[in-house]
Amino acid sequence: MTGAANLWANRLRTDFRAALAVVVLLALLPAVVTSPYSLGILIVSIYFAMLALGWNLLAGFTGQFSLAPAAFAMLGAYTTALLDYHLKAPLAIGIPAAVIGTALLGLLLGRVVLRLKGPYLALTTLSFAEIARVVVGNSYEFTRGDQGLNVPTLFESRVGYYYLFLAVLLAMLAGLYRLLRGRAGRFWLAIRDDETGAESRGIDVVRYKALAFALSCAICGLAGSLYGTFSQLVSPELGLLMQTGLVISMVVIGGIGTLTGPLVGALLVYLASEWMRGFGNIQMIVFAAVVIVFARFFRTGLWGLATRPRREAAAGGAAGVKP
């Protein structure tokens, strides 16, 4: 194992432990936070944390900059809702169907956009997202259009939902950590940093890029499906580009290409947005401005800022490793 790879493994382990610490803190919160309203806000922020993790897997770890995470959340939610609406399928079928459906769709989209990069990829995924939203919103007979669909609830208690969301988030984090620590993670990073180089070293770029796409979309699809059963209403608004903007802002503020960053970013941004609601709707102004400032001046995000002093000492001049 080379020095750089070792450094990466160490950094990933620290990162994962920090993410676990955040999850543990979240697990303790219901002892203090008891009002259904506050729990609801926390549940939605965990939903966003899932989307942020899913998007970050693509953008942060594989360098594929998609603009479709919210669209996949919408598609996942609609898979569950439509199965219930048309076929009366129970959630035990509807939720797994959302995961499988979005994974397959993600695989397909991933294969299709394989060779596209940067602005080309961003534009293609943006159009995919908008087409999906327009089609869902305009197919009145099938989806009831903008009115949305009702979804049955999983359980009555908000605490139950809270721990379900948290458990799923934990499973996503653990799964991602395993993958990133293993062969897939190293290949993904290699592809992100130098695709041609990775290919010439014999990495199956097609396979690993498609895998990242499918996984990322399945994560967003599952998050959307769960969110649908929590809010009990599924509408095309879930897929608005503005929602994708929110997810990107969470990842950029938290720290792109890390496990803890998206998590902390999602919690901070969503909680702050709820808090700022009291001052009139200035949340999006603040977040957009913060995102621009972070992207411009603090490109490693909060996680990068928090770990920088230690990292520089640990790196000891390990040049060539990206922050």
Partner 1 sequence: MLALDLLVNGLIFGLFYALMAVGLAMIFGVLKVVNFAHGEFYMVGAYTYVLLALKLDISPWAALPLAAVAGAGLGWLVERTLMRPLYSGYASWSLMKDEYAVVVTFGLSLLLINVVDKVVGPYPFRGPALIETSRFSLGPVMLNGQKLIAAGLSLALLVGLALFIKRSLWGRQIQAVAQNRLGASLAGIDATRTTSLIFAISGLLAALSGALLAPLINPAPDVGAFPAVKSYVIVVLGGMGSIWGAMAAALLLGVLEAFFAVYVSYDYRDAFGLLILILVLLFRPQGLMGEKGREV
Q: Which residues bind partner 1 (CB under 8 A)?
A: 59, 63, 65, 67, 112-113, 115-120, 122-124, 126-128, 130-131, 134-135, 138, 241-242, 245, 248-249, 252, 256-257, 280-282, 284-285, 287-289, 291-292, 295-296, 299-300, 322-323
* 221 vs 255 by CB, closer to partner 1: 255
Compute the least distance from the CB of residue 140 to partner 1, in Å: 9
Compute the least distance from the CB of residue 101 to partner 1, in Å: 20
CA angle 249, 251, 254 (to 5 degrees): 105
* 126 vs 154 by CB, closer to partner 1: 126
CA angle 61, 58, 80 (to 5 degrees): 140
Q: Which structure tokens are listed for 94?
A: 């509807």
Compute the least distance from the CB of residue 129 to partner 1, in Å: 9
Q: Which structure tokens are listed for 45?
A: 């922020």
Element spanning 149, H or E: strand 149-150
Q: Which structure tokens are listed for 142?
A: 């099938």
* 202 vs 280 by CB, closer to partner 1: 280
Compute the least distance from the CB of residue 209 to partner 1, in Å: 15
* 126 vs 271 by CB, closer to partner 1: 126
* 93 vs 288 by CB, closer to partner 1: 288
| Helices (H), ranges, 29-157 | 36-59, 69-87, 91-112, 118-138, 140-143
CB 89 within 8 A of CB 66: no
Question: Count of residues for the chain?
Answer: 323
- Among 182, 196, 202, 219, smallest CA distance to 58 is for 219
Compute the least distance from the CB of residue 56 to partner 1, in Å: 12
C-alpha span between 44 and 270 (Å, rounded): 8
Type of residue found at 1:
M
C-alpha span between 150 and 160 (Å, rounded): 20
Compute the least distance from the CB of residue 287 to partner 1, in Å: 7
* 68 vs 264 by CB, closer to partner 1: 68
Compute the least distance from the CB of residue 294 to partner 1, in Å: 9
Most distant CA atoms of the chain, gap in Å: 63
Compute the least distance from the CB of residue 13 to partner 1, in Å: 19
In eight-state DSSP terms, residue 238 is G
Residue pointed to by tokens 């984090």: 173
- Among 42, 53, 108, 120, smallest CA distance to 75 is for 108
Residue pointed to by tokens 């720290």: 255
* 41 vs 295 by CB, closer to partner 1: 295
* 139 vs 157 by CB, closer to partner 1: 139
Compute the least distance from the CB of residue 177 to partner 1, in Å: 20
* 272 vs 295 by CB, closer to partner 1: 295
- Among 307, 251, 16, 118, smallest CA distance to 323 is for 307
C-alpha span between 297 and 116 (Å, rounded): 28
